[in-house]
């Protein structure tokens, strides 16, 4: 399994709605609204690095209200 963390910047006022949508995506095992440079952090647990791209770039990035994402893959 591959673990990755997706940092999500949301448009103003969209973080709570985005949290619910991100949590419903297959491969997302945890998500939280946070304070700081990003608005939400999602934890992915997927079978392959290619699946990280599918979830982060194809699913999360395309949700209406997402301004930007950054993805970090855990090394162990």
Measured between alpha carbons, how far is 16 from 58 in angstroms, rounded to an integer?
Answer: 20
- Does 76 score more than 90 pLDDT? no
> Which pLDDT does position 18 carry in this prediction?
96
- C-alpha span between 39 and 36 (Å, rounded): 7
pLDDT class for 75, splitting at 50, 70, 90?
very high
Angular region, 48: left φ>0, alpha ψ -120 to 50, beta rest: beta
Closest to 43 measured CA to CA, from 63, 71, 14, 64: 71
Read off the pLDDT of residues 28-65 as tens digits, 9 standing for 90 and up: 999 999 999 999 999 999 999 999 999 999 999 999 99
Rounded to whole angstroms, the Cα distance separating 15 from 13 reads: 6
Q: Report pTM.
A: 0.94
Question: What local confidence, expressed as pLDDT, does residue 4 receive?
Answer: 98
């Amino acid at each position: 399994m591959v673990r990755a963390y997706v940092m999500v910047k949301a448009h103003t006022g969209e973080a709570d709605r985005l949290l619910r949508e991100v949590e419903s995506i297959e491969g997302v095992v945890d998500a939280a609204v946070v304070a700081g440079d990003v608005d939400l952090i999602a934890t992915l647990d997927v079978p392959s690095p290619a699946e990280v791209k599918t979830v982060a770039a194809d699913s999360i990035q395309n949700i209406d209200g997402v301004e930007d994402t950054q993805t970090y893959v855990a090394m162990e």
